[in-house]
Amino acid sequence: MGFKYAMRVFRNGDTWELRGALTRLLDVGLIASGAVAASLCVTHAVTLSASHIALVAFAAAFSLMWFPFVGVYESWRGRAKRHLAAMMVVAWCLASGSAVALTFVLGLAEQVSTLWIMSWACIVGAALVASRALVHAALARLRCAGRDLRYVAIVGSGSHCENIIRNVEGSPASGFRVVMKLDVRSRSDASENGVVQYGDLAAFATDVREKNVQEVWLALSVSEERAALNVLDQFRNDLVNVRFMPDTRGHSVFDGDIVDLMGTPAISFMGSPLSSRALAQKAIFDRLFATVVLILLGPLLAIVALAVKMSSKGPALFTQQRKGANGKTFRIFKFRTMRLHAEEAGVVKQATRNDPRVTRVGAFLRRTSLDELPQFFNVLRGEMSVVGPRPHALQHDELYRGVVSDYIQRYRVKPGITGWAQVNGFRGETDRVEKMQRRVECDLYYLRNWSFSLDMRIVIATAFKGLVHRNAC
């Protein structure tokens, strides 16, 4: 009886709640099982002291807090699974790190070795990612076989609407299926590739209800307000998921939150490309990553500072005004790579290849990007991010914003120590406008496609190939 009831609940609309509960139980089970596996690897026996058990319990509790905050329990239907894997790693780092810190603060870490902690964290992290991969692989097979589907009715016309339909057809594992379409520019009915086309809104709405279609997507341009309002009015009393997918080609607009402004819902078309949750996730990662880097590389920073001081007269650090998020200026930190020299007021001359102002130590620092390391202090201060568009001198901002399309949109978010442009080879001197245009195109791609997985890819690419580059000067 209990099993039949559970299956009826699973089919009748509480699927997500049941899956969420089971997923949480699975995660806690993997955290506990990872402790056993770590003990077998390290001591070749299951020897868990009270301190080990406390650490595992803390990690399980923190996982129930951090995992929902990061977003790993949200629906990932139709979304990139690489992003989920990266977020899962970040969420586990936060949960395990919080648990380890609490264990040490409470003085319960005497019987827990560092090797055991590292083994346990790696085993559980791999298991959490693998479990998601297996679950989504199984769901993908089910959806490709025609199970666990969400049927979609699309409203629109023209190439934008057709592109969305082709994207859905090309992604059967997403579990979405377009079954009907309302052409807002035609009054005729038709059928093509299994998609029934309607020209009349009333007939379209009737079939959406009768065929239990769960999703209505508005593939309209922002100028087709009347058509969107008519559809919303038609389904105002139905439990149908209505999504607006505006045609914004040719405009530098980003995904934005829907916010309440004095009682009126507002969508930010030209605002921050990242949601409030995404900004919080990015800020937490930035602070943690910068702290770890500065602790681990502290001796290297001291050695580089000493080498700079010995290479020529002047301070070890060089500071300069740069523009940050939303245009707020800040002082960026770098290791000085040039000899002290006088500059013309209001003019910043870029370093060029074989620039005589650059010292021998400075040339090495520039080639290896070691001169950028002090910017992790900017990250700790909240002025920069680990990954983001690189900031330029204020004079260059004023020059390029008038000649490079959408240049100013780069400053919708905090500038970064590294970015998508840098790992794709667009760094160094920008002696031609075309070079800056390509760099800005990379920055805009990053803003439109931001995810934790993309940030991780950029960090890893910077570590392996972005630090030393032939374009650096």
**pLDDT value at residue 350:** 57
Look up the pTM and report it: 0.55
307-312 LR contacts (CB < 8 Å, sep 24+): 307/361, 308/335, 308/336, 308/337, 308/361, 308/362, 308/365, 310/361, 311/359, 311/360, 311/361, 311/362, 312/339, 312/340, 312/359
Tens of pLDDT, residues 9-63: 333 344 556 677 888 899 999 999 999 999 998 888 887 888 889 999 999 999 9
The CA distance from 302 to 316, in Å, is 10
Compare 132 and 470 and report the one with higher pLDDT.
132
Domain chopping of the chain, boundaries: 2-144, 150-249, 277-466
Count of other CB atoms within 10 angstroms of residue 326: 11
pLDDT in tens, 369-422: 888 899 999 999 989 999 999 988 888 888 888 788 778 888 888 999 999 988
Residue in the structure block whose two tokens are 């803003």: 447
Checking if the pLDDT of 2 tops 60, the result is no
What is the model's pLDDT at position 9?
35
CA-only gyration radius of the chain, Å: 27
pLDDT band at 467 (very low <50, low <70, confident <90, very high): low
Other Cβ atoms within 10 Å of 352 Cβ, number: 13
Amino acid code (one letter) for 221: S
pLDDT the model gives residue 144: 84
Strand pairing partners for 190?
197
Give the domain 150-249 fold: Rossmann fold (3.40.50)
pLDDT attached to residue 263: 54
